[in-house]
Amino acid sequence: MVKKVLFVCVQNSFRSQVAEAFFNKNPPEGWVAISAGPKPAERVNPKAIQLMAERGIDLSDKKPKMLSKEMEDEAEIAVIVCSGSECPVVNVKHVENWDIEDPAEMRLEDARKIIEEIEAKVRDLVERIRKGEAPLEKPVLKF
C-alpha cells in the first residue's frame, strides 16, 4: 500500500502545491504526496506556476483541493506549511509544522526564496523517510 504525505495550507494555492510537486518529483519508494486546504482558492497562484516552471515543474493543470477527513485518515504524515493563526489543525498521527511565510503577495524575488525554502524542507523530509527517521514511531515493546 502506498503511504501518503499530506501537505496543508489554508488555500492550497501556493505553499502546499509547491511542496506536493517537489515531493512527487523524487519520492521515497512507496510514498506519494497530496495537498489540500480548508478554504481552497479558485486556482493555483500564478506566481507559484511561474516559479515552478523555472524549475521544470508544471503546476498549470493543478487545482486547489478541499481538505477532507478521508485525506487525513489516509495520510501517514501531515505537514502544515503555513504560518500564523489561520493554519488548519489536522487529525493525523504524525504532524510537522514548517511555519512558512505566505509568498502569495510577495515580490517575485522574495517568493522565489520561499520556494527554495520549501524545496530544502521537502528534500530533508524525503531523506528522513528514506533513512527511516520519519515518521517518528513510538517504540514497540517486545516481550
How does residue 84 score in pLDDT terms, banded at 50, 70 and 90?
Answer: confident
Give the model confidence (pLDDT) of 14-63 as tens digits. 999 999 999 999 999 999 999 999 999 999 999 999 999 999 999 999 99
- Which pLDDT belongs to residue 140? 42
Give the model confidence (pLDDT) of 56-74 as tens digits. 999 999 999 999 999 999 9
CB-CB contact of 93 with 135 (8 Å): yes
**87 carries an active-site annotation:** yes
- Which pLDDT belongs to residue 85? 80
Cα–Cα distance, 59 to 40 (Å, whole number): 16
Domains present along the chain, CATH in parentheses = 3-130 (3.40.50.2300)
Tell me which amino acid residue 45 is.
N
**71 carries an active-site annotation:** no
**9 carries an active-site annotation:** yes
How does residue 141 score in pLDDT terms, banded at 50, 70 and 90?
Answer: very low
Question: What is the average pLDDT score of the chain?
Answer: 93
How does residue 137 score in pLDDT terms, banded at 50, 70 and 90?
Answer: low
Q: How far is CA 70 from CA 4, 28, 48, 104, 141, in A?
A: 12, 22, 26, 28, 30
Active-site residue among 6, 8, 9, 79? Answer: 9
Q: pTM for this structure?
A: 0.92
Active-site residue among 82, 92, 115, 129? Answer: 82
Active-site residue among 57, 87, 95, 106? Answer: 87
Range with the lowest mean pLDDT among 16-20, 101-105, 131-135? Answer: 131-135
